[in-house]
Chains A and B, each alone.
Chain A
Amino acid sequence: MERPQRWIPWLVLACRLLVGGVFVFASLDKLAHPEAFAQAIYNYRIVPYSLLHAAAMLLPVVEFLAGSALILGVLRRGAALQCGLMTAIFMVAIATALARGLDISCGCFHTDGGHGVGLSLLWRDAGLLLACLPPLLFSDGGPELSLLFKR
């Protein structure tokens, strides 16, 4: 009989906390400054005006909810899928900005300046994308932190 691998739930938990923490942290400044985040999105020149403000308002909320869900272990696989898809979209946006030679700030964590787009960002996002896989693929999601809030 195959022995269950005990490290898998811990790997999943570590990835959940890492990815969830990154997304929750990334959402806070954007939630507080939607105008500045709209400007950061506009700088990529890929979102039409009709969707610009909607994206600036919706994206931070999606990041916050998905990140929180991952940390708490609620709707874990869906949250991991969302975080993975968002990271993939961010990577495409960064890659197109690099290809067009845009010298802009990434708008990832801070809306006022912050990190400029560059290859290092792509590597960082690739790492984040990898970290989304264990919570999405393994059925054992590790300890649910939502249990802390239950009596």
Chain B
Amino acid sequence: MANPSVRSGAMRCVTSPLGEAVVLLLLAVMVTAGIWLARPAQLAWQADPTVYELELTAPLVEVSEALLLFEEGDHLFIDTRTLPTGTHEIIPGAFVIRQDTFDDDLRSYFDYLFPEDPLVLYGSGDLNGVANIAARLQTRGYENILIMRGGLAAWIAGGGETSETEFDEGGS
């Protein structure tokens, strides 16, 4: 059986301000772990330096905001992923503009995509590619550009709908 003096000492330690603070901190760690386990897609445990170091020329939007813009229907969505030939999921109605075939892709949408159109760009989650496309579109006069954080995976995790599109070498 535990010595009463040891027990009272431990109790005093827990009820001291420092002990109480440690109890609260442990509770916070447990709650945080629970939140993260419930929503792991919201924020990766390890930060990707490129996300923070990249000098983005267009503002970032969260998936929740992008979903609202999609529902409103005023914004055009641009898929910037470079994907192999085949069938892939995209956001319904999204145009496909890739780094390697930027000029050809943009030319193919000449009658549908105008510089005054508000655009939401997304990629596969890595911001390097999508930032590159955003910068190149800006040089072509497209000023109203937003970049969706997290790419298509975050869109799907956020409950966004997708459709299947055939990707070929020159565009979708």
- Nearest A residue to B149 via CB reads A35
Q: Are B47 and A38 in contact (CB under 8 A)?
A: yes
Name the segment of A71-79, A115-123, A143-151 touching the other chain. Answer: A71-79
Contact partner of A62 (CB less than 8 A), chosen from B19, B24, B42, B47, is B24
Is chain A's binding surface mostly helix, strand, loop or mixed?
helix
From residue 8 to 49 of chain B, which have CB atoms closer than 8 A to chain A?
A: 16-25, 27-29, 31-32, 35-36, 42-47, 49
How far does the alpha carbon of A50 sit from the alpha carbon of B27 in the complex, in Å? Answer: 22
Interface residue? A17 (CB, 8 A): no
Residues in B with CB closer than 8 Å to A66 are 24, 28
Q: A42-B52, A58-B32, A79-B20 are in contact. Are A53 and B27 (CB under 8 A)?
A: no
Residues in B with CB closer than 8 Å to A57 are 32, 35-36, 43
Instruction: Determine which residue in B20, B21, B24, B43 has the highest number of CB atoms from chain A within 10 A of its CB, and name it.
Output: B21
Residues in B with CB closer than 8 Å to A136 are 17
- Nearest A residue to B20 via CB reads A78
How far does the alpha carbon of A38 sit from the alpha carbon of B18 in the complex, in Å? Answer: 28
Interface residue? B126 (CB, 8 A): no
How far does the alpha carbon of A54 sit from the alpha carbon of B35 in the complex, in Å? Answer: 12
Interface residue? A15 (CB, 8 A): no
Interface residue? B62 (CB, 8 A): yes
Contact partner of B35 (CB less than 8 A), chosen from A33, A36, A61, is A61
Min Cβ gap B26→A in Å is: 10
- Nearest A residue to B29 via CB reads A58
From residue 43 to 98 of chain A, which have CB atoms closer than 8 A to chain B?
A: 49-50, 52-54, 56-58, 61-62, 65-66, 69, 75-82, 85
Size bracket, chain B contacts: 20 to 34
Residues in A with CB closer than 8 Å to B27 are 65
Is chain B's binding surface mostly helix, strand, loop or mixed?
helix
Q: A78-B20, A79-B21 are in contact. Are A49 and B49 (CB under 8 A)?
A: yes
How far does the alpha carbon of A118 sit from the alpha carbon of B133 in the complex, in Å? Answer: 36
Q: Are A82 and B25 in contact (CB under 8 A)?
A: yes
From residue 113 to 170 of chain B, which have CB atoms closer than 8 A to chain A?
A: 149-150
Size bracket, chain A contacts: 20 to 34
Q: Are A35 and B43 in contact (CB under 8 A)?
A: yes
Q: Are A38 and B20 in contact (CB under 8 A)?
A: no
Residues in A with CB closer than 8 Å to B16 are 77
Q: A42-B52, A49-B49, A61-B32 are in contact. Are A77 and B20 (CB under 8 A)?
A: yes
Q: A35-B149, A57-B43, A77-B17 are in contact. Are A82 and B49 (CB under 8 A)?
A: no
Interface residue? A105 (CB, 8 A): no
Which residues of B are at the interface with A, using a C-beta cutoff of 8 A? 16-25, 27-29, 31-32, 35-36, 42-47, 49, 52, 62, 149-150
Write 15 A-B pairs (CB below 8 A) sorted by A numbering. Answer: A34-B43, A35-B43, A36-B62, A38-B47, A42-B47, A53-B46, A57-B35, A57-B43, A65-B31, A66-B28, A78-B20, A78-B24, A80-B17, A81-B21, A82-B25
Known: A38-B43, A80-B17. 16 other contacts (CB 8 A): A33-B62, A34-B43, A38-B47, A39-B52, A42-B47, A49-B46, A49-B49, A52-B52, A57-B35, A61-B28, A62-B25, A65-B28, A77-B16, A78-B17, A79-B20, A79-B21
